[in-house]
Chains A and B, each alone.
Chain A
């Protein structure tokens, strides 16, 4: 096992820039989740590591080895495709052993390795079946086993859960995590689902427009996003954003106002925005809370998302599921300054 490093990777397709100077490092044995909206270049990054795309500039290192110019098979990286890419004409077992036969491994050894890989993802009983005879979950396991059988240095997973139904997705998510722990393998996991990113990743890399915005532990990206984009991308429902003005030593943001302190004076020289996560908006009758009118109530089982209008702004409040305010009724909402994020309105950068 070894780590993985991407250094200054550039990749363009015609006029479209897919990756611009991508820098990314996954430590040995780390599960690094790359997350971002569609078109941010995350899949391209994975394909560059796999060797399916050749970068225009930059280097790919697996361990200490520079593999930028190496053929895909020589990189010792296994990829699990979003669509699994199982060979329809081969049985599950032959699919798992496909890469091994390519390396002219002896039949007996292939059998052994296939069994071992199948056991790891618990799909031994389907080895004799063809992909069209397998359920979605079983295909997923076979695809994972095919990646495992090669004993790669690095696992590359391209949205492996996106074709599964919700329940299976949660199960498989846990299984991939436990697989990662048992193998201690370096994994690069690409997804557009921030829930997957936060729950699975040792670290999370948030990508936008071909480069990484922030890399950090799930707690870091959630609690201390470097900019507005990361703050909005991580979290459901997304962050509320309010324009900020200041008057008489106070910040005014929508219905809220805070006393300025410390270096706030200096910050206030540029246009600012305030970010408040829906879970940090508190409904209470505490002094100084703002009046908000209920505009929409989304019931989501254990919690309720209440869309409110306050001082001309639409805000989303995350409330306990027991809470069912009437449409048009009024609530008092408040937020603690410590729970807000302050952004430079022009650059989107987080200010502290």
Chain B
């Protein structure tokens, strides 16, 4: 509460007190426990029988699992491979999804509507339904056992969902802004870069994060397309770890921690963009 006599504006959604964090905390806790048990499990001495009840902190702490995991499987190399795939796929996803979304937002309403419909239909096709034909296609092109099949989907924005996300965001930008840009002499490409993209930055970040997580944890595609062990990505490395010593779960968990850490780190880094200051409706001129 404010001291008497000192008025302060009500803060709308940002209500005072810690209570409003409670639901968020509850949800977070649900998701934190598996992560925590992954971490605590990875620090458990190898060879001990699994605990009857989940233990919060194992004793003694066994960091040796991490060393052992790297010894057994070339995790750094796989991490590098994953990083390479992600480094290509994420920027390409953002680029093509935003291009497609921007183009759709500039189309006449009816045409755009048809494309939204097509995108939604495409979204409902299960990925597994296309596995065989996609594999056949890449084999025909002699591109199996390369990173190309892993990166290629990003040339279509990875998922129609990302394209739609961009489309809906660009749709919400008043058309006069794009017209003003055209009047100033900017073509589509420069309007996209100078006007459209800066206005949807949080969406760009969201799509990048989603694409990152999707590509980073993609298991099925590397499994199908990669044969050479030196080209494996992290999820495949984890599988190898699980297969090499199926009884030794702390070892697998150690590998999992190493695979998950970059995702969490990346998310923590970009989350401030989600929390970007709300800028009001300045562009509406009202």
Chain A residues within CB distance 8 Å of chain B? 50-52, 71-74, 78-79, 81-89, 98-99, 102-103, 130-134, 136, 139, 143, 150, 163
B179 / chain A contacts, CB cutoff of 8 Å: 52, 81, 85
Chain B residues within CB distance 8 Å of chain A? 174, 176-177, 179-186, 190, 195, 198-199, 279-286
A103 / chain B contacts, CB cutoff of 8 Å: 185
With A136-B286, A163-B286 already in contact, the answer to whether A85 and B177 are too (CB < 8 A) is: yes
Closest to A143 in B: B285
28 A-B interface contacts by CB (under 8 A): A72-B182, A72-B183, A73-B182, A73-B184, A73-B186, A74-B185, A81-B179, A81-B180, A83-B174, A83-B176, A83-B286, A85-B177, A85-B179, A85-B285, A86-B283, A87-B181, A87-B195, A88-B282, A88-B283, A89-B198, A99-B184, A102-B185, A102-B186, A130-B279, A132-B281, A133-B282, A150-B184, A163-B285
Give the Cβ gap from B117 to chain A, nearest Cβ, in Å. 21
Instruction: State whether A88 touches B199 (Cβ < 8 A).
Output: yes
Give the Cβ gap from A18 to chain B, nearest Cβ, in Å. 16
Closest to A131 in B: B282
Q: A71-B185, A102-B190 given. 13 additional CB < 8 A pairs?
A: A73-B186, A74-B185, A78-B183, A81-B180, A82-B285, A83-B174, A85-B177, A87-B195, A98-B181, A99-B185, A102-B186, A130-B279, A139-B285
Whole-angstrom CA separation of A306 from B221 in the bound complex: 82
Q: Which of B184, B280, B282, B285 contacts A98 (CB 8 A)?
A: B184
Give the Cβ gap from A188 to chain B, nearest Cβ, in Å. 14
Instruction: State whether A81 touches B176 (Cβ < 8 A).
Output: yes
Instruction: State whether A131 touches B283 (Cβ < 8 A).
Output: yes
Give the Cβ gap from B183 to chain A, nearest Cβ, in Å. 5
A-B residue pair count with CB separations less than 8 angstroms: 81
Closest to B283 in A: A88
Max chain B C-beta neighbours (<10 A), residue from A51, A73, A103: A73
Give the Cβ gap from A164 to chain B, nearest Cβ, in Å. 10
B181 / chain A contacts, CB cutoff of 8 Å: 87, 98
A73 / chain B contacts, CB cutoff of 8 Å: 182-186
Instruction: State whether A132 touches B282 (Cβ < 8 A).
Output: yes
B180 / chain A contacts, CB cutoff of 8 Å: 79, 81, 85, 87, 98
Instruction: State whether B183 touches A51 (Cβ < 8 A).
Output: yes
Whole-angstrom CA separation of A298 from B190 in the bound complex: 55
A102 / chain B contacts, CB cutoff of 8 Å: 184-186, 190
Closest to A84 in B: B285
Whole-angstrom CA separation of A350 from B198 in the bound complex: 56
Closest to A80 in B: B180
B283 / chain A contacts, CB cutoff of 8 Å: 83, 85-88, 131
B282 / chain A contacts, CB cutoff of 8 Å: 86, 88, 130-134
Closest to A98 in B: B184
B184 / chain A contacts, CB cutoff of 8 Å: 73, 98-99, 102, 150
Whole-angstrom CA separation of A116 from B185 in the bound complex: 21
Instruction: State whether B177 touches A136 (Cβ < 8 A).
Output: no
Give the Cβ gap from B152 to chain A, nearest Cβ, in Å. 33
Whole-angstrom CA separation of A33 from B152 in the bound complex: 56
Whole-angstrom CA separation of A134 from B286 in the bound complex: 10
Give the Cβ gap from A107 to chain B, nearest Cβ, in Å. 16
A81 / chain B contacts, CB cutoff of 8 Å: 176, 179-180, 285
Q: Which of B183, B280, B285 contacts A99 (CB 8 A)?
A: B183
B176 / chain A contacts, CB cutoff of 8 Å: 81, 83, 85
Whole-angstrom CA separation of A51 from B180 in the bound complex: 11
A85 / chain B contacts, CB cutoff of 8 Å: 174, 176-177, 179-180, 283, 285
Give the Cβ gap from A350 to chain B, nearest Cβ, in Å. 38
B185 / chain A contacts, CB cutoff of 8 Å: 71-74, 99, 102-103
Give the Cβ gap from A325 to chain B, nearest Cβ, in Å. 41
Instruction: State whether B279 touches A132 (Cβ < 8 A).
Output: yes
Whole-angstrom CA separation of A102 from B261 in the bound complex: 43
Max chain B C-beta neighbours (<10 A), residue from A52, A88, A163: A88
Give the Cβ gap from B193 to chain A, nearest Cβ, in Å. 12
Instruction: State whether B279 touches A79 (Cβ < 8 A).
Output: no
Max chain B C-beta neighbours (<10 A), residue from A71, A78, A132, A150: A132
Whole-angstrom CA separation of A84 from B174 in the bound complex: 11
A132 / chain B contacts, CB cutoff of 8 Å: 279-282
Closest to B282 in A: A132
Whole-angstrom CA separation of A74 from B284 in the bound complex: 27
A52 / chain B contacts, CB cutoff of 8 Å: 179, 182-183
A-B complex: 9 closest residue pairs judged by Cβ atoms: A132-B282, A73-B185, A99-B184, A85-B176, A84-B285, A131-B282, A83-B285, A89-B198, A102-B185
Whole-angstrom CA separation of A163 from B286 in the bound complex: 6
Whole-angstrom CA separation of A85 from B282 in the bound complex: 9
Whole-angstrom CA separation of A232 from B179 in the bound complex: 35
Closest to A152 in B: B183
A130 / chain B contacts, CB cutoff of 8 Å: 279, 282
Give the Cβ gap from B205 to chain A, nearest Cβ, in Å. 15
A51 / chain B contacts, CB cutoff of 8 Å: 183
A143 / chain B contacts, CB cutoff of 8 Å: 285
